Amino acid sequence: MTLTFSAVLLFGVASAVAVKTRATGAGAAVLLFLFGFFTAGTGAYGPIHDLVASFARFLSQLGN
């Protein structure tokens, strides 16, 4: 019997544990969350990628 877990589930649990134990800050937890989605390539990848790209464009426009 094979037991499989998705990368999203593993990164989600790791992020939740890190935040719950306060072993890391909220920024690092968000990075773990995003890393999970980008590496898993789920259906949520597109909207999250668009959000991150939009935020990156926003930050680049702040300097102009």
Between helix 26-40 and helix 45-62 the angle, nearest 10°, is 130
Could you read off the pLDDT of 10-59 as tens digits, one per residue? 667 777 777 788 776 777 777 677 777 776 677 777 887 888 789 888 98
Q: Residue 3's pLDDT band (boundaries 50, 70, 90)?
A: low
Tell which residue, 59, 36, 62, has the closest CA to residue 48.
Answer: 36
The alpha carbon of 16 is separated from its chain's Cα centroid by a whole number of angstroms, namely: 12
What pLDDT is stored for residue 62 in this prediction?
A: 83
Exposure letters 6-44 (e unless 16+ CB within 10 A, then b): eebeebbebbeebbeeeeeeeeebeebbbebbeebeeee
What pLDDT is stored for residue 7 in this prediction?
A: 58
